[in-house]
């Protein structure tokens, strides 16, 4: 989501006549788009702002902006922590950026805006040779998971009209984009109760169906769904919609029903196993990954073991493991953060090892097989080593040329590690890739 917001920031500024540079040292303005989900991300952003402040002593016209969730979370405090910061803009007010840049002095823009905006209010400037894009379909979150700062920083759910989303997808398809990833904090809650069910299908599935028939778009992904709303129509959509990729990132957070209840996650480990089983039955090749938090207040060894067991039984092929980080303003921040840092680290390491083994096992089943890969770009600048992703979200390295970017090529898998597959593009007698779309 932050990546999409950063793209919107840069598009907005380019439309106003600013030029994007990849050399921070010559920039007149540096904007840090920040994340508040864990403390570590905030510490990093503050460190970076401190480093940038030194440049301001040499060039007083140089501007530093902090935007995104940390701007919302810290507000005015940021100016006290670093007097060199010029402006602070929260995620709901990013559309004010151009005006803010043109004014002088320190300024703070957080809270709800006078005029509601969505990131697509601005022309999208797509980078050169881009064939994949994020597409925000909603903002905010109505859940109140006890540990999570997102509802505080991004507010309640708001859905983009379906027409606008389809229109943006058409624009993307017309500009070389072959794969779209729909974004939302609970993406499968799109439409909520504001949009009707039609023929027993949720608004999210209705949207998927409309996107599935768009010429030019070859692949559709989405991030992140919530287990509570993972309804049967979505599982059926995976089976029936040819462009919907067989890959699901389904954050579980914990395998202990006690901890799930404490976190206010409204499901149990059984519900996770049911969804996973239904998904695998509908699409045997599906890749399923997850997010897990270790060391939530009160998490005992038994709770943790239940999480490890759920990870193993569900056979997730990948997971992001997070050590619990208390966030000011959340409910769990009022609890004692009683799992020692060393214990959080131990649990983290145990799960990481499990994840690595599971990923390797998952990857190894593709050795010798030919997989369809969307060629995305150079793996290393200036070489013919390219990278791309398979429909079930495995990253693949292979030799190809720049002309292949945006094409779906068949790649025979020769080797694998925990994180990546390597292979060879299969060509016909004319030297063309066998699959071209």
Within 283-365, where are the H helices? 301-314, 341-364
- Given the complex with ligand SAH, which of 38 and 120 has the nearer CB atom? 38
Q: How far is the CB of 132 from ligand SAH (least distance, A)?
A: 20
Q: How far is the CB of 155 from ligand SAH (least distance, A)?
A: 14
Q: Which of 133, 145, 262, 314 binds ligand SF4 (CB under 6 A)?
A: 145
Q: C-alpha angle with apex 218: 374 to 403, nearest 5 degrees?
A: 40
Span near ligand SF4 by CB under 6 A; candidates 84-92, 128-136, 143-151, 201-209: 143-151
Q: Is 128 helix (H, G, I), strand (E, B) or coil?
A: coil
Q: How far is the CB of 358 from ligand SF4 (least distance, A)?
A: 23
Whole-angstrom Cα distance, residue 144 to residue 152? 9
Q: How far is the CB of 227 from ligand SF4 (least distance, A)?
A: 10
Q: Name every residue whose Cβ is closer than 8 Å to that of residue 404 and which is 6 or more positions away in sequence.
A: 375, 386, 425, 433
Q: Name every residue whose Cβ is closer than 8 Å to that of residue 213 and which is 6 or more positions away in sequence.
A: none
- Given the complex with ligand SF4, which of 169 and 234 has the nearer CB atom? 234
Q: Write the interaction track for ligand SF4 spanning residues 94-133; mark x where CB under 6 A is met and - where it is not.
A: ----------------------------------------
| Cα–Cα distance list, 431 to 107, 304, 326, 400, 434 (Å) | 59, 53, 56, 12, 9
- Given the complex with ligand SAH, which of 118 and 296 has the nearer CB atom? 296
Residue 281 CB-density burial (10 A; 0-12 exposed, 13-18 middle, 19+ buried): exposed
Distance, CA of 342 to chain centre: 28
| Dihedral pair phi/psi, residue 134, rounded to 5° | -85, 150
R_g of the chain computed on alpha carbons: 23
Q: Name every residue whose Cβ is closer than 8 Å to that of residue 118 and which is 6 or more positions away in sequence.
A: 136, 139, 158, 160, 164
By a kind-dependent CB cut-off of 5 to 8 A, residue 92 interacts, out of ligand SAH, ligand SF4, none, with: none
- Given the complex with ligand SF4, which of 272 and 394 has the nearer CB atom? 272
User: How big is the chain, counted in residues?
Assistant: 437
Q: Which of 150, 235, 248, 292 binds ligand SF4 (CB under 6 A)?
A: 150
- Given the complex with ligand SAH, which of 70 and 150 has the nearer CB atom? 150
Query: Pairing between strand 408-416 and 370-378?
Result: antiparallel
Q: Which of 27, 53, 143, 308 binds ligand SF4 (CB under 6 A)?
A: 143
Query: Which residues in this chain contact ligand SAH in the complex, by CB under 6 A?
Result: 37-38, 147-148, 150, 185-186, 224, 226, 251, 253, 291, 293, 322, 324-325, 327
Whole-angstrom Cα distance, residue 220 to residue 244? 5
- Given the complex with ligand SAH, which of 150 and 169 has the nearer CB atom? 150
- Given the complex with ligand SAH, which of 150 and 165 has the nearer CB atom? 150
| Dihedral pair phi/psi, residue 124, rounded to 5° | -90, 125
Q: How far is the CB of 330 from ligand SF4 (least distance, A)?
A: 9
- Given the complex with ligand SAH, which of 37 and 413 has the nearer CB atom? 37
Measure the CA dihedral 139/143/149/153, to 10°.
30
Residues between 369 and 398 that touch ligand SF4 (CB under 6 A): none
- Given the complex with ligand SF4, which of 143 and 335 has the nearer CB atom? 143
Q: Which of 65, 151, 184, 287 binds ligand SF4 (CB under 6 A)?
A: 151
Q: How far is the CB of 154 from ligand SF4 (least distance, A)?
A: 8
Whole-angstrom Cα distance, residue 321 to residue 347? 9
Q: How far is the CB of 151 from ligand SF4 (least distance, A)?
A: 5
Q: How far is the CB of 149 from ligand SF4 (least distance, A)?
A: 8
Q: Write the interaction track for ligand SF4 spanning residues 172-211; mark x where CB under 6 A is met and - where it is not.
A: -------------xx-------------------------
Residue 324: closest CA among 292, 300, 346: 292
| Strand partners for 389 | 374, 395
Q: C-alpha angle with apex 395: 408 to 392, nearest 5 degrees?
A: 70
- Given the complex with ligand SAH, which of 251 and 391 has the nearer CB atom? 251
Q: How far is the CB of 6 from ligand SAH (least distance, A)?
A: 17
List residues near ligand SF4 by CB under 6 A: 141, 143, 145, 148, 150-151, 185-186, 226
């Amino acid at each position: 989501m932050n990546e999409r917001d950063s793209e919107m920031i840069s598009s907005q500024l380019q439309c106003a006549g600013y030029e994007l540079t990849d050399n921070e040292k010559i920039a007149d303005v540096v904007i840090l788009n920040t994340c508040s989900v864990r403390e570590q991300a905030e510490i990093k952003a503050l460190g970076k702002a401190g480093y940038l402040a030194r440049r301001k002593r040499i060039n007083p016209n140089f501007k530093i902006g902090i935007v995104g969730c940390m701007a919302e979370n810290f507000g005015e405090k940021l100016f006290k922590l670093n007097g060199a910061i010029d402006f602070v803009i929260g995620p709901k007010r990013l559309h004010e950026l151009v005006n803010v840049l043109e004014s002088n002095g320190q300024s703070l823009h957080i809270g709800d805006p006078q005029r509601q905006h969505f990131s697509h209010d601005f022309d999208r400037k797509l980078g050169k040779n881009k064939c994949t894009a994020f597409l925000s379909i909603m903002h905010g979150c109505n859940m109140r998971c006890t540990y999570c700062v997102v509802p505080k920083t991004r507010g309640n759910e708001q859905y983009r009209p379906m027409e606008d989303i389809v229109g943006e997808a058409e624009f993307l398809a017309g500009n070389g984009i072959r794969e779209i990833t729909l974004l939302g904090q609970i993406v499968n809650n799109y439409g909520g109760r504001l949009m009707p069910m039609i023929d027993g299908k949720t608004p999210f599935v209705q949207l998927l169906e409309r996107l599935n028939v768009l010429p030019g778009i070859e692949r559709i992904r989405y991030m992140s769904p919530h287990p509570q709303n993972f309804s049967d129509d979505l599982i059926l959509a995976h089976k029936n919609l040819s462009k919907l990729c067989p890959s699901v990132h389904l954050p579980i957070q914990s395998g202990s029903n006690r901890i799930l209840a404490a976190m206010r996650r409204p499901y149990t480990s059984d519900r996770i196993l049911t969804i996973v089983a239904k998904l695998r039955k509908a699409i045997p090749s599906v890749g399923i990954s997850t997010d897990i938090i270790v060391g939530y207040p009160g998490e005992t060894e038994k709770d943790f073991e239940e999480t490890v067991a759920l990870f193993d039984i569900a056979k997730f092929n990948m997971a992001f493991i997070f050590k619990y980080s208390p966030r000011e303003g959340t409910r769990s921040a009022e609890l004692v953060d009683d799992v020692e840092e060393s214990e959080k680290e131990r649990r983290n390491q145990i799960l990481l090892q499990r994840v690595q083994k599971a990923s390797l096992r998952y990857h190894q089943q593709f050795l010798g097989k030919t997989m369809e890969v969307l060629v995305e770009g150079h793996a290393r600048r200036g070489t013919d080593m390219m990278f791309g992703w398979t429909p079930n979200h495995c990253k693949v390295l292979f030799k190809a040329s720049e002309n292949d970017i945006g094409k779906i090529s068949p790649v025979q898998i020769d080797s694998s590690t925990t994180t990546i597959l390597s292979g060879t593009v299969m060509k016909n007698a004319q030297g063309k890739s066998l699959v071209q779309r």
